[in-house]
Structure 1
Amino acid sequence: MSAEIVRAACPHDCPDTCGMLVTVEDGVATKIQGDPSMPFTDGTLCTKVAYYLERTYSPDRLLYPMRRVGPKGKGQFERITWDAALDEIAARLKALAAENPETILPCSYAGTMGMVQYSSMDRRFFHKLGASLLDRTLCSTAGKFGLKATLGGSVGMDPERFDESKLILLWGANPIVSNLHLWSRVQEAKRRGAKVIAIDPYRSLSAEKCSQHIALLPGTDGALALGMMHVLIAEGMLDRDYIAKHSVGFEALAQRVKRYTPDWAAQTCGITREEVVQLAREYGGIRPAAIRLNYGMQRHTGGGIAARTIACLPALVGAWRDAAGGIVLSTADFYGFDHAALERADLLAGRRPRVINQSQLGDALTTAQPPVRAMIVYNNNPVAVCPESDKVIAGFSRDDLFTVVMDHFQTDTADYADIVLPATTQLEHYDVHKSYGHLYVLANNPAIAPVGESLPNSEVFRRLAARMGFDEPCFRDSDEDICRTALASSKEAMRGIEWNALKKAGWLKLGLPERFTPFAAGGFPTASGKCEFYSEWLEKQGVDPLPFYNPPVEAPGADTELARKYPLAFISPPARHFLNSSFANLARFREFEREPHLDMHRSDAERRGIRDGDLVRIFNDRGGYTLRARVNGKPRPGVVVAPSVWWKKYSRDGGNANNVTSQRTTDLGGGATFYDCLVEVQKVA
């Protein structure tokens, strides 16, 4: 039989959302590669997804439904049938729903980003049920709300234009690890003479290859932006015509930033005055100037306001006039998927269930009233990825909590499940994808039949809906019906993008101008249609309408008892070979990462008698865990870094970075504050 090539899309939580080609021979996928016809992917995949066949065909893959037979957390299960599993789940949910459906909680996140398996049949099911709503805040909500306040939404410059930029600020971004195809464009710009500046507390792989690295303290990004504004305005390095025509509140902003001098910014950020002034002058004097803002910088208490503040910079200097200028955090709001039709919130029928913030899942599972009594976990590994995980584990350990986990593998969370259901991988189901890092829509076609008895998430919720007696026609939609629904949008950019054509082509670009320059003539999706230095939207929420500095709660060097007890700032950026907690169970990628480790500056290590290779314990009042010290110059002094997220079962003592992180949330959006975290480190005897 001749080989067949199937067009697919990478499902993972990455801005690149790559087009893929899967070679199939005799029903077996034998090769996976980047789609060379898709401009953004350009034929290459990251190391993780290049080995995706090892995930699909892993000997550790879950193949059958299972029921727990041992204590929670021990991972002891017996095989059962799908009918037995679904009958038991439906019976438990019916009983709880009859008493109070808000005791049921869906717990999903970004294990797959496609509309079919991530955000359609599942949402319909829980809306009809009247279950508690989950606020999915772990990654990006602070930045999302910050950009909404300034720009009107998750919009920005076209990432494909970075290779034309002359100045690039990688602000909290490490694209070698988490945005590989943007990095190739940044490198091309650098070869053409662009200056590339990394702004990051950590000398990441990307920072090592930049023209300059500004190693500010964690959580002080907003202070640096305010200091830059002070210099730009004081020295007149402004595009006054653009400001006059396409912004709101400049005079108030100019008055506000007088207090934020470069000396103040330098002291706050732990850098030199010269770094602040030089950065501002280069940003005000070089065109085109592009900012790649990424999510690490908004994972602290002031993260939303910090993102909002940085997003003001392009309008001040007129960077939006250039296709290769402006800022991008996410491109998601350029799409027009019909989320209302996908998710069907109307099935709530007027009910207003409580909302549980995923960043505070530990508290929700241990103290919420009424208590959460059933959880359906899918596309997610909360025991590994949610903050303050000792509380999360305490919640999952409750004997009165009925837990269902749908996954490819026996994750840390699956070890606590009552029922485990095998899910299909991306090679085994339909889906349709947008991106938050480019401007293409992608189709995912199933390349092979489901492995073992695995089922798509959508089919599991279809079958559960039937058992629950939900008879609305939407519960009978096929996966391809859902793809068509997603694309049935009135938004101009989606015009002409139709499912049958998309699944054949694999990818189609949004209907935007070839030299897309979104805000060259204003037209921001704000209430005013302008860049809002002064935000009435924030003012109505009781938030200061102008940019200001909102410092970390757990700030190193602060005159607080907490900072004296735990003097080191801790951040846990993505490990190069993991994606959130995905891939961390596969031997190849654990070998690449070697073992959980902590990067320390030499001065901090020497002060504690720690040498390179020593076992150390990192801890604070929330918890701690043991890992290997790597003493080097990667973090700035006062900062320690643990590339993450390791599964707990693969660590030395059953812990990971989230043993020490906090459930405190951000100023805007209720996001996670993973990087607003003070710790101490000591050598293990």
Structure 2
Amino acid sequence: MDLRFFHRLGASLLDRRPLCGGIRSEAWVGTYGPVPGIRPEQVEDSRLVVAWGSNVTWCNLHLTPIIQRARRRGARLVAVDPRRTKIAEQADLHVALRPGTDVLLAFAVACELERRGALDRQFIARHVHGFDAYMEVARRWPPREAARACGVPEADVLRFAEWYATLSPAAISVGNGLERNRNGGSGIRAIFALPALAGKWGVRGGGCVNGAGHAFPKTPHRLGRPDLVPPGTRTLNIIDVGRHLLDPGLRPPLRALFVYNHNPLVVHPDQNRLRRGLSREDLFVVGCDVVMTDTLAYADVVLPACSHFEHPDLFAAYGQHWLQRAEPVIPPEGEALPNTEIFRRLAVRFGFDDPCFRATDAELMDDALDPADPRLGGLRPSAIPTDRALEMTAGGEEFVLFRNVRPATPSGKVELASGYLEKKYGAPLPGYRPLDSPWPLTLISPASDKRITATFGGCGPSEEPQALEMHPDDARDRGLADGARVKVWNDLGEVHLTLLVTDRVPPGIVCSLKGAWMRTTDNGQTVSALAPTHKADISEGACYNDARVEVAAL
């Protein structure tokens, strides 16, 4: 209902995906098309599991017991992550590469597969588009050169490639973390290429645990009604909202902002610029949330929102292949309303009398999915029983790419050279762009186990002063001791944190978990203040892990 309202209003369209997940999604669609990969449950049958930029014990929790069952059956586990996460501690091999070099590691594995004669030439000939052009780029980064650039031992690259060549089925789970740099799209595309090069698809437990959203019969045009958008309406990148708020040349200017389901002051890169934009006296801000966030402190009007416990909804499970419907389990608190009702009432006040603005929640559910899809068993989406989940399958079988589903690319093949990505972003092939910076340390800001991005940032466990993890070598070089209060700064801002000296991060990399609220800091800045606003190679995505900083004692 929200999109219907804003489309009819003629508000600027907002591209939300660059903030999170858009790079990975576009890389998947550019390589395989809008089709699902394997479902998480199949990983139990894998002989090799690769958690690449995927901190499954915090951010993909349902996959963790499945990996554990696979390991009890003899599977090996590889974790690729700059930080020694819990899953990396449990792994048989942890490749602690530098942020932004994932593409080089994947190129090196492809090169080593070729050297070992482990490329599936028959599969490539039948099902892969752009192999020669792709390998021409990849061969520039054999294991020795790639290992040097990634900051890892060459032996780790060779061992990873050996296992990937010899162990089948092999499953790769690609997380969102590795997309957040200037080479994010290239890195993910190069990873997605590996199961096609080695012929890992077509069997249960083989391929990539990605693309789950494409398992569902979604009908976004029926739900969001883009036909209501006036011709010529502009689209703004959500990352650029702070810049647009301060741009005197923007036509038409942004005079009003409606913030809901989001805490941008804490989440967006270049936090200080966004704060200056929100502080404009002439900007009208409406906020809607279940709690009073840092962003809502800048709102002129605050509307209380329901939690997901207080309204009905459909849930196309995040990262899984199951569809569920839920009813409220408690009544709305106070004057809180679900988003659907808030925008229904706004539509009435604005005089929008089209029947689509009077749709009930049940009718919106029915618009969200194709009711004719046979997997719904003749049920309207709003009538799906709440005591079960509907399995999304291909003719009754679990999705297995190249067994019961095929790539939905223009060529009908796995596109290592992507016409879609070339046309949209000028990126037909993956590539590597080094980042030169005068600042000596790379700052990464992965997810916290106490928050979901910034959600729950106002709860007790998240109110403590936040830590900065630093390798002992870097701490010694700066004369810093464990537990010291330090300032972390660059041209964009300065954040005050408590130092945690640990070898959990490699030399040259520091880490502070994202999503902390202003109540955790003594100078009104959190780690997002240090993140740049330049864009990744595809999807114009955010580059949080391109932050470069220095650290000193307070």
Tell me which interval the TM-score lies in, with the shorter structure as reference length: over 0.9
Q: For residue 51 of structure 1, what is the aligned residue in structure 2? A: none
Say which of 359, 362, 386 aligns to 2:268.
386
Partner of 1:404: 286
Residue 200 of structure 1 corresponds to which residue in structure 2? 81
SS for the counterpart of 1:148 is helix
Among 449, 462, 485, the alignment partner of 1:590 is 462
Aligned residue in 2 for 1:271? 152
3-state SS in 2 of match to 1:395: helix
TM-score normalized by the length of structure 2: 0.96
- Aligned residue for 1:504, secondary structure, equals coil
SS at match of 1:441: strand
Q: What amino acid sits opposite 1:431 in the alignment?
A: D
CA contact (8 A) 1:124 1:345 kept: yes
- 1:622 pairs with 2:505: no
Deviation at 1:520, TM superposition (A): 3.5
Correspondent of 2:482 among 612, 617, 630: 612
Q: How far apart are residue 416 of structure 1 and its match?
A: 0.4
1:217-256 superposed matches below 5 A:
217-256=98-137
Q: Which of residues 535, 538, 543 is equivalent to 1:668?
A: 538
3-state SS of the aligned residue for 1:421?
A: strand
SS at match of 1:443: strand
Matching of residue 581 in structure 1 with residue 462 in structure 2: no
1:424-435 paired onto structure 2 within 5 Å = 424-435=306-317
- Alpha carbons 1:151, 1:530 under 8 Å: kept: yes
Distance 1:485 1:515, change over 3 A: closer
Partner residue in 2 for 1:134: 14
Q: Counterpart of 2:401? A: 518
Q: Per the alignment, do residues 125 and 542 of structure 1 end up closer, same or farther by CA in structure 2, a change over 3 Å counting? A: closer
Q: Aligned residue for 2:341?
A: 459
**Mapping of 1:645-660 within 5 angstroms?**
645-660=515-530
Distance in 1 (alpha carbons) for counterparts of 2:105 and 2:441:
21
Distance 1:308 1:497 in 2: 38
Relative to structure 1, the CA distance from residue 619 to residue 369 in structure 2 (aligned partners, 3 Å threshold; closer, same or farther) is farther
Specify which of 356, 359, 366 is matched with residue 246 of structure 2. 366
Give the Å deviation of 1:152.
1.2
> How far is 1:506 from its partner?
4.4
Q: Percent identity?
A: 38
TM-score, normalised to structure 1's length?
0.78
C-alpha distance in 1 between matches for 2:43 and 2:417: 29
1:569 aligns with 2:439: no
Kept in 2, the 8 Å contact 1:390–1:623? The answer is yes
Report 1:236-385 matches (<5 A): 236-348=117-229, 350-367=230-247, 368-385=250-267
Q: In structure 1, the residue corresponding to 2:541 is in which secondary structure?
A: coil
CA contact (8 A) 2:290 2:305 kept: yes
Gaps of 5+ in 2: none
C-alpha separation in 2, matches of 1:357 and 1:155: 26
Change (3 A) 1:503 1:624: farther
Provide closer, same or farther for how the CA distance between residues 315 and 434 of structure 1 changes in structure 2, counting only shifts above 3 A. Answer: same
Alpha-carbon distance change, 317 to 482 in structure 1, aligned in 2, over 3 angstroms: same
Q: Which residue of the other structure, out of 350, 354, 362, is the alignment partner of 1:468?
A: 350
Distance 2:393 2:67 in 1: 25
Gaps of 5+ in 1: 1-120, 554-559
Q: Deviations over 1:121-165 (max 9, x none)?
A: 000000001010111021011111111111113631111111111
Shift of 1:412: 0.2
Deviation at 1:436, TM superposition (A): 3.5
Q: Which AA in structure 2 matches 1:364?
A: H
Q: Is the 8 A contact 2:245 2:254 kept in 1?
A: yes
Are residues 155 and 522 of structure 1, via their aligned partners in 2, closer, same or farther at CA, if it must alter by over 3 Å?
Answer: closer
- Specify the alignment match of 1:678 in structure 2: 548
TM superposition shift of 1:486: 1.3
Q: Summarize the Cα distance change of 1:522–1:510 in structure 2 as closer, same or farther, 3 Å threshold.
A: closer
Q: CA deviation at 1:494?
A: 5.2
Counterpart of 1:181 in structure 2 is 62
Query: What is the root-mean-square deviation in Å for CA atoms of aligned residues?
Result: 1.7
Separation in 1, partners of 2:4, 2:430? 39
Residues 537-552 of structure 1 mapped to structure 2, 5 A cutoff:
537-541=420-424, 543-551=426-434
Letter in 2 for 1:125: F
- Contact 1:567/1:679 (8 A) holds in 2: yes
* 1:545-565 CA distance string (max 9 Å, x none): 2333233x3xxxxxx5x33xx
Counterparts in 2 of 1:468 and 1:493: CA distance versus 1, 3 Å: same
Deviation readout 1:74-106 (Å, 9 max, x if unpaired): xxxxxxxxxxxxxxxxxxxxxxxxxxxxxxxxx
1:155 lines up with 2:64 in the alignment: no
Q: 1:493-545 CA deviation, whole Å, 9 max, x = no partner?
A: 55645335424334211143434312247711111111112222233346342
Where do 4+ consecutive residues of structure 1 move more than 4 Å?
489-497
Which amino acid counterpart does residue 576 of structure 1 have in structure 2?
A: D
Given candidates 437, 451, 463, the residue that maps to 2:319 is: 437
Q: What amino acid is aligned across from residue 423 of structure 1 in structure 2?
A: A
Distance 2:369 2:175 in 1: 27
Contact residue 322 and residue 517 of structure 1 kept, 8 A: yes
Distance 1:256 1:674 in 2: 26
1:315-337: CA deviation from partner (whole Å, max 9, x where unpaired): 11111122101012331112121
Contact 1:145-1:153 within 8 A present in 2 as well = no
| Aligned partner of residue 315 in structure 1, secondary structure | helix
For 2:301, give the aligned amino acid.
Answer: I
SS in 2 for 1:546: coil
Q: 1:460 to 1:501 in 2, by over 3 A?
A: closer
1:403 partner SS: strand
CA distance in 1, matches of 2:280, 2:422: 42
Relative distance call for 1:346 and 1:544 in structure 2 (3 A) is closer
What's the offset of the Cα at 1:258?
A: 2.3
* CA spacing shift, 1:542–1:579, aligned 2, 3 Å: closer
2:206 and 2:367 map into 1 onto residues whose CA distance is 34
SS at match of 1:312: helix
Shift of 1:257: 2.5
- Does the aligned pair in 1 maintain the 2:107–2:139 contact within 8 Å? no
> In structure 2, which of residues 417, 425, 436 is the aligned counterpart of residue 534 of structure 1?
417
Who is 1:634 aligned against?
504
Tell me the distance in 1 between the aligned counterparts of 2:386 and 2:502. Answer: 50
SS state of the match for residue 469, structure 2?
Answer: strand
**Contact 1:335–1:494 (Cα < 8 Å) also in 2:** no
Change (3 A) 1:499 1:158: same
Q: Matches of 1:680 and 1:213 in 2, distance apart?
A: 27
Give the 3 Å change call, closer, same or farther, for CA 529–653 of structure 1 in structure 2.
same
